[in-house]
């Protein structure tokens, strides 16, 4: 098994340029493919997840041309109804990319073609039944090829008609995102307005705000009543904005902001700022509550340790920052008191069961952890962190990146570090660049004999 050994480090200080946002990159790629006209996409994230979307769209016959390193030109297929792709029959392997699998399920359910969608074994354990049920309400023809309610899926042409789609909001916000993106294709001459109604609590609302904002960039305005009812007038269609830039990834920013708060700082991240459209930007507010010194600019954020030198535990509802909240779980190891992260049930259906995985790995470091259905309580050890712990990452990129922060308190081995390629292939190189070695421990370095530089 490949691994990376991180020695104890002293201080974090420097500037990091963020990779593009995964959530924005895959949404924009799909919206560009569905639009009328040509879209130039700049600063697109280069990662496994975006590669899955690019491959899938190319297989479907969408014309995509790479202009530069992070610059792509997409020729949209148009917003006609019924929706059709040039390729009407395809098998699509989508890895473990939820931001690809869920939206493509909705889009292809409304297309007049024959498609099979599959992924890695973990993807086949992630529920999709609520999305499928909602699409069936408007005539989609979707069959489960394995366990009921889970991928893989077979999609055939359905008798698509406008109407109301009802979906639970407390499993994954990606279901609602997928449904919103196909609303413009449910056009009708009848007096029936295509509508989505959300039942129960809607989790991860900032991701829905992000979806709506990006749809607006492509010419479609979503009307919503509170967080319960969403509609799109039937005369709207996607039109290319000609050129779009992808913001830096706010979830990825969390690791470096936390490094500044734990390791002294200042650490400045560039690529997002105070006006970011991403919900995870509010991770900085959580660090402020813990006592960190946070500064904002138009296109940067900077974090330093508290003037007192010590972070304080917090009790936080994390519905608004579901991904970045993982970074808080490891940051809690360096805070005084009991940190409680609430409303994180969505962790259970991510790349791994993140609540169980986080609890298991934090305990290896000497922390006391209480795990609930939708919360974690973390109490750091009374003394030092356990040295030389071996952290398993469960093929989950965020586990690997979060636990790199342990090196501010103890040497640590992280297994399967190449899983970061899902969203941030050169994460450990960027992390090493802001680390100032602890003189007593020697220079921070990546052991290239045990870790493939990606």
Tokens encoding 360: 């298991």
Please list, residue by residue across 80-102, b when 16 or more beta carbons sit within 10 angstroms of its beta carbon and e when fewer do.
ebebebeeeebebebbbbbbbbb
Tokens encoding 303: 């974090």
354 marked as part of a ligand binding site? yes
Residue 412's nearest CA partner among 396, 431, 394, 388 is: 388
204 marked as part of a ligand binding site? yes
For residue 3, what are the CA distances in angstroms to 157, 392, 397, 414?
Answer: 46, 10, 13, 5
User: Cα separation of 104 and 95, whole Å?
Assistant: 13
23 marked as part of a ligand binding site? yes
47 marked as part of a ligand binding site? no
413 marked as part of a ligand binding site? no
348 marked as part of a ligand binding site? no
For residue 339, what are the CA distances in angstroms to 225, 260, 264, 315, 383?
Answer: 34, 19, 20, 6, 17
268 marked as part of a ligand binding site? no
Q: What angle do CA 424, 430, 433 make, to 5 degrees?
A: 175
350 marked as part of a ligand binding site? yes
User: Cα separation of 264 and 287, whole Å?
Assistant: 13
User: Cα separation of 341 and 320, whole Å?
Assistant: 12
Give 337's DSSP letter: S
φ/ψ (deg, to 5) at 102: -70, -50
| DSSP H or E stretch at residue 229 | strand 229-231
User: Cα separation of 49 and 114, whole Å?
Assistant: 23
- DSSP for 281-312, please give it: GGHHHHHHHTT-EEEE-SSEEEEE--TTS-EE
Q: Is 249 helix (H, G, I), strand (E, B) or coil?
A: coil
Q: Is 132 helix (H, G, I), strand (E, B) or coil?
A: helix
172 marked as part of a ligand binding site? yes
404 marked as part of a ligand binding site? no
User: Cα separation of 230 and 232, whole Å?
Assistant: 7
22 marked as part of a ligand binding site? yes
User: Cα separation of 293 and 136, whole Å?
Assistant: 49
- Report whether 165 contacts 177 (CB < 8 A): no
- DSSP for 366-381, please give it: T-EEEE-SSEEEEE--
421 marked as part of a ligand binding site? no
422 marked as part of a ligand binding site? yes
126 marked as part of a ligand binding site? yes
- List residues with catalytic annotation: 323
Annotated binding site for 3-phosphoshikimate: 22-23, 27, 172-174, 204, 323, 350
Residue numbers in the known binding site are: 22-23, 27, 98, 126, 172-174, 204, 323, 350, 354, 398, 422
Q: Which residues are annotated as a binding site for phosphoenolpyruvate?
A: 22, 98, 126, 174, 354, 398, 422
């Amino acid at each position: 098994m490949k691994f990376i050994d991180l020695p104890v480090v002293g201080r974090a200080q420097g500037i990091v340029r963020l990779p593009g946002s995964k959530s924005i990159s895959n949404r924009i790629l799909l919206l560009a493919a569905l639009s009328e006209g040509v879209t130039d996409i700049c600063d697109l994230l280069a990662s496994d997840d975006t590669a899955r979307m690019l491959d899938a769209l190319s297989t479907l016959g969408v014309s995509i041309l790479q202009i530069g390193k992070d610059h792509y030109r997409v020729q949209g297929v148009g917003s006609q109804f019924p929706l059709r792709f040039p390729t009407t029959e395809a098998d699509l392997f989508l890895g473990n990319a939820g931001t690809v699998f869920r939206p493509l399920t909705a889009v292809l359910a409304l297309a007049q073609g024959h498609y099979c969608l599959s992924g890695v074994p973990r993807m086949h354990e992630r529920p999709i039944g609520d999305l499928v049920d909602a699409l069936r309400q408007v005539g989609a023809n979707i069959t489960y090829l394995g366990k009921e309610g889970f991928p893989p899926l077979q999609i055939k042409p359905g008798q698509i008609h406008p109407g109301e789609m009802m979906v639970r909001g407390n499993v994954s916000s990606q279901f609602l995102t997928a449904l919103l993106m196909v609303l413009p294709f449910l056009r009708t001459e009848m007096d029936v307005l295509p509508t989505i109604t959300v039942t129960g609590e809607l989790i991860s609302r900032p991701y829905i705000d992000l979806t709506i904002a990006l749809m607006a960039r492509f010419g479609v305005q979503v009307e919503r009543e509170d967080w319960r009812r969403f509609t799109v007038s039937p005369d709207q269609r996607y039109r290319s904005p000609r050129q779009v830039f992808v913001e830096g990834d706010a979830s990825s920013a969390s690791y470096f902001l936390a490094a500044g708060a734990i390791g002294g700082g200042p650490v400045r991240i560039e690529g997002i700022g105070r006006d970011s459209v991403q919900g995870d930007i509010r991770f900085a507010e959580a660090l402020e509550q813990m006592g960190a010194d946070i500064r904002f600019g138009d296109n940067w954020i900077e974090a330093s340790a508290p003037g007192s030198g010590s972070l304080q535990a917090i009790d936080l509802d994390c519905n608004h920052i579901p991904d970045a909240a993982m970074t808080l779980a490891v940051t809690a190891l360096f805070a005084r008191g009991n940190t409680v992260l609430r409303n994180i049930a969505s962790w259970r259906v991510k790349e791994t069961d993140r609540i169980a995985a986080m609890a298991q790995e934090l305990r290896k470091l000497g922390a006391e952890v209480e795990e609930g259905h939708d919360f974690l309580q973390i109490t750091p050890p009374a003394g030092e962190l356990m040295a030389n712990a071996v952290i398993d990452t469960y093929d989950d990129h965020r586990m690997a990146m979060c636990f790199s922060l342990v090196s501010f308190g103890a040497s640590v081995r992280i297994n399967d570090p190449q899983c970061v390629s899902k969203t941030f292939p050169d994460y450990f190189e960027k992390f090493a660049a802001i680390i100032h070695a602890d003189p007593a421990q020697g220079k921070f370095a990546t052991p290239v004999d045990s870790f493939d530089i990606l």
